[in-house]
Chains A and B, each alone.
Chain A
Amino acid sequence: MSDIGPPRGTGPLARTEARLAWGLLTPTLLAVSLVVILPLLAVFWISVKPVSLADLRAPETVVREDLRGRPAAAGDEATLRYRLRNSSPTSAITGVTLTDTWPAGLSLNGALDPRCTLSETTLSCDLGDWEGGYRETLNIPVVTEQAWFDAGRDVDADPVEVDGKASFVLTNNQFTLQNFVSVFDGGEFWSVLGVTLFYTIFGTLGAMIMGLFASMLLNHSFKGQGILRGLYLFPYVAPVIAVAFAWILLFDPFSGSANALLVQMGVTDQAINFFGERPLALIMVTLFEIWRYFPLSFLFILARMQSIPTDMYEAADMDGASPFQQFWYLSLPQLLGILSVLFLLRFIWTFNKFDDIFLLTGGNAGTRVLTVNVYEQAFAVSNIGAGAAVAVVIFGCLLAFSVFFFKFMSKEEGL
């Protein structure tokens, strides 16, 4: 009796299906983890490392060997010279040893450096530890013999081997919290965060409100609607670098058309430096953000608007609702879902935006947002560790947003 009933657990068919699914997903999973998950972990790792742009190359020993003194005949004195240096200006190399084949036809003339020993045909030296930027020249006095000229070779024909243990800052176990300290130090971080929030909140809201207006304009069909819809999407479709430079030229303080127009219309009597003055630059980059991304909100809202059944409006008309009332009590509640989803998505993406501000102002004039700060710290100040620390802060903020976001997403299906 007990085995009657629906089968439980996973049957062979379900297992095959799951195996196929994972098979199909594996390439994507691999690629994404290689380029997203791994770098993310790397950012966390780097953020606690004292690493600057110059440390990215592991320190190496560099050696040049030559024979000084221009010996012309057998019996001439000369100096065998090794010029050695540490390629890194900051990191040390420990336990450096030098090994070289002793050139045939040269014999030692005088005292050998105490750190070196000469066996039959090999010269080996124990050079100890090198500080960052260490340089040394090793001179060995020699006398040439006839065999040297017979061989007709140069001293650097045999490669010199120099070995040492370099500790590479990205892989050693040296950790620091200095990066985070420098990020949070001073008032700068909070002003950057404030600018980021201003840019994100007003950029998102502005783009949504503009998108809402634009979609109301195009919500009824008329001749040329398709053309207008295409036109209104231009800012979003064009390469950001092209439109950013167009804006910079348009608002140039010396030869920009916008200034010329404003002066001519008597709005201002002296040129305004739109992207160079403190509060104005932030407003301008926010306006750029609104201008560039209203098409996206517009598309989503329009798609939703066109799916609202018209009989609701007819009923409202019959009941004597005025157009504003219809908008306020009918359209807006219907659009609330898409608006809230859009707000959350756009909020996060605006928060992540880098190119726009980087191209418009480079983060100057009070427009430095967190993402631009990553670049500034890592490449302008060339402190990669501090850049990564800012990136970790960004990631923390995003994590907080996404928790919030997923709570809403579960309510709002369809997006």
Chain B
Amino acid sequence: MKHLRFGYLTGPVLGVLWTFVLAVTVAVAMSFATGEAFRPSLIWSVIFGIPTGLALVWRGTALIAAGVLVGVYVVALTLGVGPVLTGNASTLARIVAALFMGIGIGWPLKVFVEELSMGALTRHEFEDAVIRTLKGFGYIFFTAIVVIPFYVMVMTSLKNQAQLMQNPLDFSIDLTQGWGLFRSYVELMTEFNFGTYMWTSFYISVLTVLITLLFAIPGAYAVARLRFRGQAAFSRSILLIYMVPMIVLALPIYIAFSMMGLRNSIVGIVMIYPVTTIPVALYMLQGYFRGLPSEVEEAGLMDGLSRLQVIWKITLPLSLPALASVSLYVFMIAWNEFLLAFMLLDDPSKFTLTRGIASLNSSEIPRQHLMAGSVIATVPIMALFLGLEKFMTKGLTAGSVKG
């Protein structure tokens, strides 16, 4: 590492790395957006990256660097050379790619190497520059891996089988068809009963939340506040319960439900779902209850309230945020639940959304329907989550939750 700690070495190395990262990013993004052939080239990244890195260490501002590089890449892409190679892409696509390359390399790279000088560097300066480059890479990498599957999901649902087979990379959508774009969604709603499935999933989830809270609130309060023999053992065994794998329980539950005729019934599902969430909810809530000042409750007790009144009038109003995050989390578990619904429901009129999507997974049903179903299941939970993100993150970390 010591030999690298000179501005005239660090700069070009970071320049090459960042140029290549950007080349890959732009090539992937442009391919996904237009379906045309873009590909990154390592050799050209080295050729372009070294002078870029050197120049930016030497002098210049982010704005100038971006401007100059945009010009360079417009020329390079039209000539068909450079870190991003393209076959027969349209001029517009080339210009857009050049813009992304220029700004994407010039601006961040200048920020990364800002404190570097041409000569020897201190360890601090060197590592700072390296870390900033790595972070830049991290933002691109994580965003890409999260976004690409969802992007593919949404775009596939808007296309048709023939278009997909022809060029699997072409995700551009034909806006001229207007509402025809949402054909698969309309078909799912009208022919495949997805409206009913959504409603079923929704009310099963809401019922699960209500029943879970009904059981978990008194239980959590008892574990958190009341002294009784076996309290410590109890709070530990809650954790033990969520160590038990669902598939192990699903087997006897399947047998019992088959024998009692509860298979294929919503009642059976509503009976099972809350029990899988009660331990989690109880654990999350008892953590929160412990954090509440007990003096408030004691004051209530002194003023003549009974314990149950204290829970109802003091503890619950104080723990509304925790209740919200627990509800949200339980709702998410119930909405996303797949295994039990898959095993216990066979009758298409009683499917939940996840079971409905599983039934779309056959070779006779086109793939855009499968993806449209996935989008239908994903969007509500995402919307709910983004809207209440604060509660969600807090709730998730509060109770060391199950996944």
Contacts and interface: CB of A to CB of B under 8 A. Distances in A.
A14 interface: yes
A326 B267 CA distance: 56
Interface stretch (A1-9, A22-30, A104-112): A22-30
B251 interface: yes
Interface string A279-296: 000000000000101001
Given A14-B227, A31-B274, A43-B251, A21 B222 contact: yes
B228 A299 contact: no
A46 B246 contact: no
Interface string B112-134: 00000000000110011001000
A261 B241 contact: no
Contacts of A398: 243-245
A27 B397 CA distance: 27
B377 interface: yes
Contact of B226 (A18, A261, A300): A18
Interface stretch (B174-182, B190-198, B254-262, B312-320): B254-262
Contacts of B245: 351-352, 354, 371, 394, 398
A56 B397 contact: no
B371 A40 contact: no
Nearest to B354: A241
Contacts of B279: 32
A interface, by DSSP: helix, strand, loop or mixed? helix
A8 B393 CA distance: 45
A391 B251 contact: yes
Contact of A242 (B222, B247, B276, B378): B378
Contacts of A34: 275
A415 interface: yes
Contacts of A254: 165
B218 A27 contact: yes
B209 to A, nearest CB: 15
B38 to A, nearest CB: 8
B275 A214 contact: no
A241 to B, nearest CB: 5
Given A25-B218, A217-B138, A375 B247 contact: yes
Interface in A347-398: 348-349, 351-352, 354-355, 358-359, 371, 374-375, 378, 384, 387-388, 391, 394-395, 398
Interface in B84-112: none
Interface string A66-103: 00000000000000000000000000000000000000
Given A32-B279, A56-B258, A259 B168 contact: yes
B215 A237 contact: no
5 contacts: A18-B229, A213-B142, A239-B353, A348-B243, A378-B251
Which 10 pairs between the two chains have the least Cβ-Cβ distance? A352-B245, A242-B374, A18-B228, A42-B252, A24-B218, A21-B226, A39-B252, A35-B275, A24-B222, A28-B219
